[in-house]
Amino acid sequence: MKKIYLLLAVALLCLVISAATFVHFSASYSSTSSSYTANATAVTIKATYNPEQAPLVEKYVDSCLQPVVVFGTAHKVNKDIAINESQLLYHVKASPGTLTITASPKENDRHSLDKLRNILDGLGSVIKPY
C-alpha cells in the first residue's frame, strides 16, 4: 500500500513541475517580439522582452535619442520626446518588458521616421531572446 502512495506522490510532483514549466514558458514576459507598423497617421515600433533586460533597452533608447534622456532613472515612461535640431517628435510609452514608440508622418520628416526603424533594428542586438 505504501508503494501506491509513493507512486501517486511522485506522479503528482511530476504533474506540478510540468504545469509550472508550461506556465513559465507561456507567460507574456517570457517571449521576445518586435514589430514595425506604418500607415497614414502613425509609424509605430513595439517590442516585448524579458523585463530583466529593461536597463539595457533603456540605455540603448537613451543613447539613440541623445541629447534627450527618455528614461534616466525611471523604468516606466509615457511622454513625448522632441528634438528640434532634427525635427523629431516621438511618443514613448514603456515599462519593464514593453516598449512602444510612435511617430506621426505629418509631424516628422523622412529622416526621423527612418531613425525610428533603425532604433527597432538595433533593439534586435540589445534584446536577447530566452
Domain ranges of the chain: 1-28, 31-126
**Could you tell me which CATH number the domain at 31-126 has?**
3.30.1360
- Say if residue 29's pLDDT is above 80: no
At residue 27, the pLDDT reads: 59
Q: How many CB atoms lie within 10 A of CB 130?
A: 11
Q: How many CB atoms lie within 10 A of CB 17?
A: 10
Give the CA count within 13 Å in the CB-facing half-sphere of 112: 23
Mean pLDDT of 116-123: 92
How many Å from the N-terminal Cα to the C-terminal Cα in the chain? Answer: 44
pTM here?
A: 0.74
Give the CA count within 13 Å in the CB-facing half-sphere of 72: 7
Beta bridge partners of 79: 92
Residue closest to 45 by CA, chosen among 107, 126, 118, 101: 101
At residue 26, the pLDDT reads: 60
At residue 7, the pLDDT reads: 83
- With a pLDDT cut of 90, the percent of the chain lying above it is 48
Question: Average pLDDT over the chain, rounded to whole?
Answer: 87
